[in-house]
């Protein structure tokens, strides 16, 4: 185990909590809207963007954000109208973004910077600085406000976009808002979790919460809780074993998901009705 | 004199990326309080017509007015007054939504952006659920309902927004006989009690509700007949169009 004073770890612990919150809160929308493929593409675009930032020696968070938003703006309209199948999006963009990221990383100047380059691949316990924390805090408040103010619109869109549109909700606005916040969350989480694994933190906690509840409100509460616990346990595991933190967090969240699938009351045969009644409360 | 709630003049609607219009030369006036059934074989353009009326699809020529407002310019305003039921809606049995939330979501546009759901809104929601006889299902997961129960919740959802116009796309599809009768009775009651204008699309001539007094027949993207229910149902032409497919 790595022996470190607690004070030294506090910024990283706060970052882990915030990363868990922003990623898994956005996960509830991404999973329900079937945006996994586009989110996956965005997370790899953010990774390529961060690599680009390191290459031209500017803040990698800024370039990650640009790449993620650029991808959302290009693929969003295509995916929205189902003009491009999700497997094509993944196949094309995943490979091209990874290829670009590796090319950019190859040209990162200086040996020290090469270390940072590797850190954006699989994340690092100590790569989060004060500015990153502030940005994560700002994003957390933005997402909280977004969900609180627009909960009824979001619920309507999550149930069925066409019905939401027909009752006067501007569904396009909410679709792109979800993409925007997901891109933001992925880009800010890169340094801690790493570009290759960050999207698992969006999908796994939400998918775990989905196994237990029929009430969207409860999923909105428990998905971030599972996300935060995954990040904290993963963080501790990383300290304990010296595993890369991104890998630790993702493994913990995947174990939670596997347990959720096994014990899910929704999936149990025979006593479905009893479980439904239990979940009504 | 009753005012026209729907007024379509030489409307033509085309799907994005296609060249041939799905509906064309549509001239249609529907007065406040009417209960109209639009019937026709599959692919006649019935759903396209409904989606043109509530502005989900844009027409490329002609003029369209709903509540005397031009559809293209007032889409979101118009939709707040229209309850819409989409056809063949399949729901995932594990979907994470409770019935009361689905009914509430119908009122979203009416409540408005930056406003929260108030007690008054919830009163309307409970009232709509009571009207369709589903108040006991408020806390049930939506995916666990039968076809008929699910359809009733969707109707309650449409009613929760206190619409002036109900657009129902195939409200009897995928339902067993008993559920069809229940939904038919419900629609008749809603029309009789609240005098809401109802425009219903169906490909099944056997299920034209008693309260419906006018039938519009569509075929190949055009309106080919528009008359009183009895006249249409007893015409010879209807047999040719449906080739007995609509009658059992």
How far are the Cα atoms of A38, A42, A176 from residue A73, in angstroms, in the given order? 11, 10, 8
* Residues B60 and B116 placed together within one structural domain of the fold: no
Q: Is the dihedral of CA A17, A177, A219, B114 positive or negative?
A: positive
* Residues B172 and B248 placed together within one structural domain of the fold: yes
Give the pLDDT of residue A91: 77
Give the pLDDT of residue A158: 96
Residue B57 contacts A where some CB pair is shorter than 8 Å: no
Distance CA A215, CA A227 (A): 18
Shortest alpha-carbon distance between residue B226 and chain A (Å): 26
DSSP category for residue B198? E
List the CATH number of the domain containing B215: 3.40.50.300
DSSP B174-229: T--HHHHHHHHHHHHHHHHHH--EEEEEES-GGG--TT--EEEEEETTEEEEEEEH
Q: Which residue of B has its CA nearest to A264?
A: B94
Give the pLDDT of residue B214: 95
CB spacing of B106 vs A167 below 8 angstroms: yes
Strands, E, within B99-158: which ranges?
none
* Residues B195 and B77 placed together within one structural domain of the fold: yes
CB spacing of A167 vs B107 below 8 angstroms: yes
Contact A172, A99 (CB under 8 A): no
* Residues B130 and B26 placed together within one structural domain of the fold: no
Nearest to A155 among B80, B82, B101 (CB): B101
- Both tokens of A19, joined, read 């990363």
CB spacing of B79 vs A266 below 8 angstroms: no
* Residues B101 and B211 placed together within one structural domain of the fold: no
Mean pLDDT calculated for residue range B38-47:
91
* Residues B174 and B75 placed together within one structural domain of the fold: yes
> pLDDT by residue (tens digit) across B107-120?
999 999 899 999 99
Give the pLDDT of residue A196: 77
* Residues B21 and B37 placed together within one structural domain of the fold: yes
Q: Which of B163, B189, B208 is the last residue of a domain?
A: B163
Residue B94 contacts A where some CB pair is shorter than 8 Å: yes
pLDDT at B11 over 90: yes
* Residues B207 and B141 placed together within one structural domain of the fold: no
User: In 10 A of CB A99, how many CB atoms?
Assistant: 11
Contact A256, A208 (CB under 8 A): yes
Q: What's the total number of domains in chain B?
A: 2
- Average pLDDT of chain B? 91
Domain that holds residue B34: 1-81+164-248
Q: Which of B128, B163, B198 is the last residue of a domain?
A: B163
Interface A-B, measured as beta-carbon pairs within 8 A, has a size of 100
* Residues B110 and B170 placed together within one structural domain of the fold: no
> pLDDT by residue (tens digit) across B173-183?
878 888 889 99
Give the pLDDT of residue A63: 93
Give the pLDDT of residue A125: 77
User: In 10 A of CB B88, how many CB atoms?
Assistant: 9
Nearest to B108 among A153, A214, A272 (CB): A153
Shortest alpha-carbon distance between residue A68 and chain B (Å): 28
Residue B98 contacts A where some CB pair is shorter than 8 Å: yes
Give the pLDDT of residue A112: 65
Q: Which residues of B touch A272 (CB under 8 A)?
A: 144
Q: Which residue of B has its CA nearest to A213?
A: B96
Non-local (6+) Cβ contacts of A105 within 8 A are A51, A54, A55, A114, A117, A121
Residue B88 contacts A where some CB pair is shorter than 8 Å: no
CB spacing of B96 vs A164 below 8 angstroms: no
Q: What domains are defined for chain A?
A: 6-280 (1.10.3470.10)
* Residues B60 and B97 placed together within one structural domain of the fold: no
Give the pLDDT of residue B1: 58
If DSSP codes are grouped into helix, strand and coil, which group holds residue B6?
strand
Contact A48, A226 (CB under 8 A): no
Burial of B160 (0-12, 13-18, 19+ CB in 10 A): buried
If DSSP codes are grouped into helix, strand and coil, which group holds residue B39?
strand
Q: Which residues of A touch B114 (CB under 8 A)?
A: 149
CB spacing of B96 vs A156 below 8 angstroms: no
DSSP B145-163: S-HHHHHHHHHHHHHHT--
Give the pLDDT of residue A274: 44
**Residue of B229, B183, B246 lying closest to B34 (CA atoms):** B229
Which spans in A81-110 are helix H? 86-89, 95-106
Q: Which residues of A touch B77 (CB under 8 A)?
A: 168
B212: left (phi over 0), alpha (psi -120 to 50) or beta: beta
The confidence band for B247, taking pLDDT boundaries of 50, 70 and 90, is: very low
* Residues B182 and B246 placed together within one structural domain of the fold: yes
Hunting for tokens 């868990």 — which residue is that? A20
Q: Which one of B96, B122, B139, B146 would you mutate to disrupt binding with A, by most A Cβ within 10 Å of its Cβ? A: B96
Q: What is the pLDDT along chain A (281 residues), one digit of tens a residue?
A: 556 667 778 888 999 999 999 999 999 999 998 888 878 888 889 999 999 998 998 888 899 999 999 988 887 787 776 666 767 777 788 888 889 998 998 888 876 667 777 778 778 877 888 889 999 999 999 999 999 999 999 999 999 999 999 999 999 999 999 999 999 999 999 888 888 788 889 999 999 999 999 999 999 999 999 999 999 999 999 989 988 888 999 999 999 999 999 999 887 765 444 444 444 43
pLDDT at B199 over 90: yes
* Residues B4 and B124 placed together within one structural domain of the fold: no
Q: Which of B163, B181, B198 is the last residue of a domain?
A: B163
């Amino acid at each position: 185990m790595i022996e470190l004073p607690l004070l030294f770890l506090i910024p990283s612990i706060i970052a882990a909590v915030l990363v868990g919150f922003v990623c898994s809160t956005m996960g509830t929308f991404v999973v329900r809207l079937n945006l996994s493929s586009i989110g996956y593409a965005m997370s790899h675009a953010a990774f390529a963007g961060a690599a680009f930032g390191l290459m031209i020696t500017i803040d990698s968070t800024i370039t990650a954000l640009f790449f993620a938003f650029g991808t959302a703006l290009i693929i969003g309209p295509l995916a929205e109208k189902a003009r491009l199948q999700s497997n094509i999006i993944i196949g094309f963009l995943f490979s091209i973004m990874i290829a670009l990221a590796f090319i950019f990383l190859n040209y990162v100047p200086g040996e020290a910077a090469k270390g940072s380059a590797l850190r954006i691949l699989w994340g690092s316990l100590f790569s989060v600085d004060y500015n990153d924390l502030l940005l994560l805090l700002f994003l957390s408040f933005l997402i909280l406000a977004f969900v609180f103010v627009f909960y009824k619109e979001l619920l309507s869109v999550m149930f069925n976009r066409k019905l939401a549109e027909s009752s006067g909700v501007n569904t396009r606005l909410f679709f792109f808002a979800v993409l925007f916040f997901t891109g933001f969350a992925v880009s800010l989480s890169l340094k801690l979790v790493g570009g290759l694994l960050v999207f698992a933190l969006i999908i796994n906690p939400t998918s775990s919460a989905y196994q237990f509840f029929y009430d969207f409100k409860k999923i909105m509460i428990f998905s971030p809780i599972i996300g935060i616990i995954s990040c904290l346990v993963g963080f501790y595991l990383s300290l304990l074993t010296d595993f890369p933190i991104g890998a630790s967090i993702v493994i913990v969240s995947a174990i939670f998901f596997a347990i959720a699938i096994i014990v899910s009351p929704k999936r149990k045969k025979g006593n479905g009705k009893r479980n439904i009644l239990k979940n009504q409360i | 004199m009753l005012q026209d709630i729907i007024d379509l003049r030489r409307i033509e609607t085309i799907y994005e990326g296609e060249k041939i219009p799905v509906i064309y030369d549509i001239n249609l006036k529907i007065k406040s309080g009417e209960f109209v059934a639009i019937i026709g074989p599959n692919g006649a353009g019935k759903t396209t017509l409904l989606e043109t009326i509530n502005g989900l699809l844009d027409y490329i020529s002609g003029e369209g007015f709903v509540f005397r407002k031009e559809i293209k310019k007032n889409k979101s305003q118009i939709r707040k007054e229209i309850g819409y039921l989409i056809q063949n809606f399949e729901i995932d049995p594990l979907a994470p939504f409770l019935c009361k939330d689905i009914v509430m979501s119908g009122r979203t546009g009416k409540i408005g952006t930056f406003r929260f759901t108030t007690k008054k809104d919830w009163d309307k929601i409970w009232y709509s659920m009571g009207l369709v006889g589903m108040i006991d299902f408020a806390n049930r997961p939506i995916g666990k309902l039968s076809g008929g129960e699910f359809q009733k919740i969707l109707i309650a959802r449409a009613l929760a927004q206190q619409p002036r116009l109900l657009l129902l796309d195939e409200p009897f599809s995928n339902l067993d006989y008993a559920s069809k009768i229940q939904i038919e009775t419900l629609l008749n009651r809603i029309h009789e009690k609240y005098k809401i204008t109802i425009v219903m699309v169906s490909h099944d001539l056997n299920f034209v509700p008693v309260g419906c007094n006018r039938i519009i027949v569509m075929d190949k993207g055009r309106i080919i007949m528009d008359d009183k229910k009895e006249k249409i149902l007893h015409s010879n032409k209807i047999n040719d169009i449906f080739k007995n497919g609509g009658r059992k």
